[in-house]
Each structure stands twice: as C-alpha cells, then as structure tokens.
Amino acid sequence: MPSASTDRGRASATPPPAGERLRERVRFVVDGVLRSYAQILFSGSRGVGLVLLLATFLAPRAGAYGVLAVLAAIASARLFRLSPELTRSGLLSYSSMLVGLGAAVLFQPTIDAIVVTLVGVVTAVLMTAALHAAMSAYFNLPPLTLPFLLVFYLVLGAARVLDIPLEGLAHARIPTPEWLPAAGVTYLESLGALFFLPRIDVGAIVLLALILHSRIAWLLSLVGVALALLVAGRVVLVLDGTLPFVLGYNFVLMAIAVGGVWFVPSRSSLLLAIGATLVCGMVTVGLVPLLTVGGLPLLILPFNLTIILLLYAMRLRLVDDSPKAVDDPSGSPEEHLRLHATRVARFGAHFRIRFHAPFMGRWRCTQGFDGEFTHREAWRHAWDFEVTGPDGQVHRGSGEQPQDYYCYRLPVVAAADGTVVEIVDSVADSPIGEPNLRDNWGNLVLVAHAPGLYSLVCHLAPGSVEVRPGQLVRRGDRLGLCGSSGRSPVPHLHFQLQSSPHVGAPTLAGELHDVVVEADDGIDERRWHATYTPKRGDVVRNLEPARAFARFLPLRAGDEFTLRGDHGDEAIAVKVDLRGQLLLCSRARKAETHFERNAEMLILYETRGDRRSLLWALQIALARLPFELGDELRWSDHVQRRDLMSWPAQLAHDVVAPFIGDTSLVVDYELDRRGHELRICGRSRATGRDKAPLITSEALLVEDRGITRIEVTVGERRIVATRVDDDSDDDATAAAVAMEGAGR
C-alpha cells in the first residue's frame, strides 16, 4: 500500500488543467515584465516595477518600446531555453528593456532603427546570459548593466553606419517649473534619466517607486545627488548640458548599491558609499575625453566600472565588518539591516564557526579573559576549566597528586568541526604546584576550522591524544584527556582561539555557543546562551538533548498541520526549498518562516509575508527551543521591534534604523514539563505603561502530537491558535486544550 507521501507525489505529478497552465504562463510573463523594470532600482517587487513602467509611459513611444523589448527578451529567453527563474526575475531582460528605451528616445522610428533595436534586444539577452555565467563563476559578481552597455554601444555604432537619424534628448525633456530649485530639477531629471527620460515628471514617479521600495535607498539617493551637484559644480566641461544628471544617476545608483544593497546599511556603509561615489566621479570625469573621441555617451558605464572595482577589492578584507557585506543582495536595504540586526542580537557570533564547550559534563571556569595568572597581553583571550565535586572543591582530599583532581583524565573534545594541524603528546604531567616552564603548553591539539581560525587545547595527559595531524574531526570527537602537562600548577584544561597555526600564537577574542551556564550563587538556575563568554566562577556545559524530545515536535518535510485562529483555519506545511533549507509555509496567507532543526535545538528565523499569518505568532512563541528535558531551563531571544509596529511607524523607523543600532526586544523564555505536555512561556523585559510585559507568549507541545496551542500577546493584541486535525477525536482534544487555556 503506497504511503501518504507517495500519494502526494503522484498527485503533484498530474498535469494541471489547461486553464491553470494559461494563468501560470500569464503570471510568468507579467512577473518578467514588471521585475525587469524593478531591477533598475535593485528591487524584485512587481509593485515597484509597475510604478516604473507607468512612469515610462509619460513618453508613450518610450513606454511602448520598453514593454515590447521586454516581451521580445522573454520570448528569446524561452526560445533559447535559458533559465526560467532568471527570466521570471527580470534578470535576463532588464538590459533589453534599457536598449528599447534608449532606442525610443535617441532614434527616429524608421525601419532600420526598429530592426537594429530588435536585434540589439535579442543580443542583450545572450550577452546577459553569457556575462551572468562568466562573472558568477569566476568573480562571484553580478553582470549589472554591463550587457546593456556593450550592446547599446554596438547599436549606436550600427546606427551611424546605417545613417539612422538621431533625435537626442531634447525632445524628451519638458519645461521646468520656476518654483522648483535647481537641485530638485537635477535630482528628478537624474532619476528619470535612469530610463532615458530626464524629465521631472518621470523622475517624480521614479522617486515614488524608490520610496515604496526602500526609505533607506531614498536617503542614500539624496546623498548621491548631493555629491553629484558638488562634483558638477567643480567641472568646467559640460556635455550638452547632460553632465549634471549623468553624474546624478551614476552617483545615485552608486550610493544605493554600496550603502544598502551589497553592504548592510550603517554609518560605516554610508561613509564607504560616499568614498565610492567620489571615486565614481573621478571615473566619470576621466572617461569623458576617452569616450568623446569615439562619440559615445557615458551612460551608466562609470557606475559599473566603479562598483565592480569596489566589490572585488573588498573581497580581500581580513574581517568582514564595518561595513558588513550582505549574504544575498536581492533584498531591500531594510531587509538586509533587519536580517543582520536580528542575527547579531539573537546569535551574536564573532565568527561563522560556532564553538561549543570542549568537554563533556559540567566544568567550572577558573580563569577567563584578562585572568590574574597567565591570561595577559597577547594571550589575554583564553579560558581555563576545571571540575568541582559535590563539596565545591576541585579535588579530593589534600590534592597533592594529579589523580586527586576531578578533571584529571576526563575527555577533551573538539569544539567544532575541523582538521588537526599539530599535536604534542609526550610531555609528562607536572607535579602539583611545580609547573613546567620549559614546555609551556604541554601536550596539546591544534585544530584548523577556517582560514585564519584555529582552536587550541592544552595541558593534556601524556599519551592520551587520540588524533593525528591531517585528521578530520567533528564537533564532539575526542581529542585526548585532561592532564597537568606544561605550565600547569594543577590539572586543568586550557582553551583558546587564534588566527595562526603556530603553537603559542596570540589569542582571538571569541565566545562559546549554545552552552548552559549554571549559577554559582546557590540559585538553582540554568540559562542557555546562544553566545556566551565564560567568566571566572561560571559552571558551563553543553546542551544535553533528549531523544524523547522528537516526540513533542515532529516537524518533518512533507508534514502539514492546521491552526485555527481568529481569522479561520490556516494550514501550515513543512517544506524544503531549493537551497535545502526547511520552511514553514502558509499558502493561504502567503507567508513563510525558515527554520533549522538539529539534534539539539529548533530555531525559527525571520517570517516573511502576510502579517495576519499565524506564523508570526509561532515565531515569537517558539523562536528558539532547546531539546533538553531536564530541570527547568531558561534562555533569552530577541524580537525585532519593527515587526510589532504599524506601517507608518515602520516607515519612520526605516529612515533612522541605520544610525540607531539595535532596537530589538529581549524576551525571556522558560520550559516546563508536565507529563506528556511541554509549555514554553515567554515574557519580554520591556514593559508598557501599565508595567506589564510588552510581549507574552505560551506554546503548548503535546507528546506525539506536536504544536497544539499557541498564545501570544503583543501590547493589547492577543493571538490564540489551536491545532485542528482531520479526525474528530483530535478536534475534541484541541477544543479542550483551548478551553483549558482560556480558563487560565
């Protein structure tokens, strides 16, 4: 008998009806057209693309040429069997759109002009595909508008040979209102010139689209045009009066690209954007005499050359910080900033590699950073760990022998995946109180985790090292046993991070990840930290996940469950995207939440889509969940304040967000197990005027059932959702749980 998943697979393989196929083709073309226009402002929004398309129809011939060019490009991409994803995103057709717009504005509509334009449109598709393949493979950079430039220069050359009459830009401009200052005219004409229409009315609509796309990008565009006016005022040479807005649109794109597209918006990205824009100015002015010889316009060449130069040069930075490069430049500057702020607040890691405690069980930190004994100067960032017994002492009896110490010959494990670089295994243990100053580090294992990132464990017992140089190790693999070799007055484990593969190299400031810290003041509290720097006296351990936890949270790819809220039932499906990432998807609300689940924890990342979706409440209630079923465990997470604001407040927040730092709310969680139920309760530290927490949450997990009920309160808004399954028994159970929750 086939399984349910097999039945679903067979059902999904059934061809859709003809009407549905037609609607999908229409959606494909509409997406390709609108997103082609949106790509000029680094956006993938169909709404932004629609506004920009309408702006071009203020000059009807340009608008018609642009749309026809995109349609021809989409048809060519389908004919050549090019990537449907790239076609639908507009990435294969926006250069063709610019070719069509440029031809509409510069050429008189003769037969030769139309033929040359059509050939140029198709050539731009091939050029875009070729440059996309080459630049992404060899340089990991996008083609930008280089395909348009290369093709359009060829189109201009062909127009001269064929003697196609030119019109220039004069007919595309309109009278300027007297009340509009010169700076405003340059700004709007620069925005309009992005589409070969240096008109203030077109520029005004492009400005509207820019603000709809990103308020941060709008601010950066003001910086760009201000610098353009400054440079234009210092340049004597003027090219038919076009230099101000040529500088303008190159500078505007440069400021937006550097300040918010390829780097996370911040004060440092703003400074980099200003510097890069000034370099773009030098490139612009320097290209004028070179291109004048050939009679070619500057167009958007300065931006392309400068941004490629900058992006490739920034790859050689030793530290990806100030400004931080984005992982995926396809989002808006607001999305980049929110994603970065959320992940820094929630996880706060200095490195991509997450280091766990290099031992098993509970160990006490007996010397931390800037310790009073040996952790000084270039070696100030290191930890020493020992084990305490029931009486709080680190040894039995008088502690005169290494064997008296609780940590002696306990396992030492790899803190993260890596490759063993060097070992020492023959140094004898030092007598108690008599450290070996000649062999300072004693027996050790040095592991490489990433370029410029190594971990070192020292003072291991002689003959206990279980790995060899070149051996690959996984996090948790045994490296050796704790001892007292080298400069070790008593048995202990020394652990540090460093940037070079040399024993004794200076240390790096770092932290441990996903560790539980137990209080040392008599309070029975265990707090799980995503990122933590142990201090002297802290009792630290790794998470101790329970296999039984899987019964409380069965979230497997292909699963689906239904939550019933105030707006009706909402089906939540567990899916896997093309990158192999797990998703919780709500088709009804067009929302999705990426999540990660491993043997130790569940992490819900950012939710995107309809804010009415119950996924938003689920993300707050189960933001992060350790799979530990022991005594009460507490932890904290962060919720972005912006996600809780009304849309006018969000707009205001977007404008100032790059300059005000972290605005997230800290929420404290605790887990309580009662038989077959788990309750995860959260309360924000920030309170309202009534001194009540701004956010409270509760999630109920039932064994063999999973998520059964969630309740989230944000200010005065209360969201309650209960699980609804197909059979009546489960419905009755869900109703009982909901009534029990309402009674509380």
The string of pLDDT tens digits covering residues 679-715 is: 999 999 999 888 899 999 999 999 989 999 999 999 8
Of the pLDDT bands very low, low, confident and very high (cuts 50, 70, 90), residue 741 is very low
The string of pLDDT tens digits covering residues 658-668 is: 888 778 899 99
Mean pLDDT across 579-594: 88
The string of pLDDT tens digits covering residues 342-354 is: 777 788 777 778 9
pLDDT value of residue 491: 97
pLDDT at 71 over 90: yes
Mean pLDDT across 479-498: 96
Residue 46's alpha-carbon distances to 31, 34, 38, 43, 62, in angstroms, are: 7, 5, 7, 9, 20
Token pair 């550097």 is at which residue? Answer: 258
Strand pairing of 512-518 and 539-542?
Answer: antiparallel
Q: For residues 738 and 709, is the Cβ–Cβ distance under 8 A?
A: yes
DSSP category for residue 583: E
Token pair 């030119």 is at which residue? Answer: 166
pLDDT at 216 over 70: yes
* Calpha distance 235→227 (Å, rounded): 13
pLDDT value of residue 236: 52
pLDDT at 389 over 70: yes
Of the pLDDT bands very low, low, confident and very high (cuts 50, 70, 90), residue 521 is low
Mean pLDDT across 391-418: 94
Q: Which ranges in 570-701 belong to alpha helices (H)?
A: 614-621, 647-660
Mean pLDDT across 16-35: 89
Of the pLDDT bands very low, low, confident and very high (cuts 50, 70, 90), residue 49 is very high
- 234: helix, strand or coil: helix
* Calpha distance 169→22 (Å, rounded): 40
DSSP category for residue 160: H
The string of pLDDT tens digits covering residues 143-164 is: 899 999 999 999 999 999 999 8
Token pair 């005219």 is at which residue? Answer: 185
The angle formed by the CA atoms of residues 688, 689 and 695, to the nearest 5 degrees, is 15
Of the pLDDT bands very low, low, confident and very high (cuts 50, 70, 90), residue 195 is very high
User: Which one-letter amino acid corresponds to residue 120?
Assistant: G
Q: For residues 418 and 448, is the Cβ–Cβ distance under 8 A?
A: yes
pLDDT value of residue 241: 58
Structure-token pair, residue 281: 């100015």
pLDDT value of residue 173: 61
Contacts of 118 (CB under 8 A, 6+ apart): 72
Same fold, 23-171 and 363-536: no
- 85: helix, strand or coil: helix
pLDDT value of residue 522: 46
Mean pLDDT across 241-255: 85
* Calpha distance 358→700 (Å, rounded): 34
Pairwise pLDDT comparison (494 vs 318), residue with the higher score: 494
* Calpha distance 573→555 (Å, rounded): 9
Residue 1 CB-density burial (10 A; 0-12 exposed, 13-18 middle, 19+ buried): exposed
Pairwise pLDDT comparison (530 vs 167), residue with the higher score: 530
The string of pLDDT tens digits covering residues 422-433 is: 999 999 999 999
pLDDT value of residue 107: 92
The string of pLDDT tens digits covering residues 263-294 is: 999 999 999 999 999 999 999 988 888 887 77
Q: For residues 711 and 697, is the Cβ–Cβ distance under 8 A?
A: yes
pLDDT at 6 over 80: no
Of the pLDDT bands very low, low, confident and very high (cuts 50, 70, 90), residue 673 is confident
Contacts of 565 (CB under 8 A, 6+ apart): 614, 617, 719, 720, 721
Pairwise pLDDT comparison (172 vs 653), residue with the higher score: 653
pLDDT value of residue 8: 42
* Calpha distance 179→574 (Å, rounded): 57
* Calpha distance 122→124 (Å, rounded): 5
Distance, C-alpha 331 to centroid of its chain:
9
Nearest of 188, 211, 189 to residue 43 by alpha carbon: 211
Half-sphere exposure for 54 (CA within 13 Å, toward CB): 12
* Calpha distance 90→31 (Å, rounded): 8
Contacts of 205 (CB under 8 A, 6+ apart): 51, 52, 54, 55, 58
User: In this structure, what are the phi and psi dihedrals at residue 409, rounded to the nearest 5 degrees?
Assistant: 65, 25
Contacts of 81 (CB under 8 A, 6+ apart): none
Distance, C-alpha 557 to centroid of its chain:
23
Q: For residues 413 and 477, is the Cβ–Cβ distance under 8 A?
A: yes
Structure-token pair, residue 445: 């294992």
What angle, rounded to 10 degrees, do the helices at 46-56 and 200-213 form? 180
Q: What percent of the chain is predicted at pLDDT more than 90?
A: 61
CATH number, span 23-171 = 1.10.3430.10
pLDDT value of residue 2: 38
Domain-wise residue ranges, the chain: 23-171, 214-321, 363-536, 547-743
Return the bridge partners of 679, or none.
672, 700
Give strand ranges (E) for 294-390.
363-367, 382-386
**pTM of the predicted model as reported, rounded to 2 decimal places:** 0.74
Mean pLDDT across 641-665: 81
* Calpha distance 420→495 (Å, rounded): 15
Residue 180's alpha-carbon distances to 184, 208, 252, in angstroms, are: 6, 17, 20
- Which CATH topology does 363-536 take? Glucose Permease (Domain IIA) (2.70.70)
Structure-token pair, residue 322: 């100030």
The string of pLDDT tens digits covering residues 293-309 is: 777 888 999 999 999 99
pLDDT value of residue 607: 87
Q: What percent of the chain is predicted at pLDDT more than 70?
A: 91
Residue 377 CB-density burial (10 A; 0-12 exposed, 13-18 middle, 19+ buried): exposed
Taking residue 381's Cβ as centre, other Cβ atoms within 10 Å add up to 19
pLDDT value of residue 739: 36
pLDDT value of residue 510: 87
Mean pLDDT over each residue of the chain, to the nearest integer:
88
pLDDT value of residue 738: 40
Contacts of 138 (CB under 8 A, 6+ apart): none
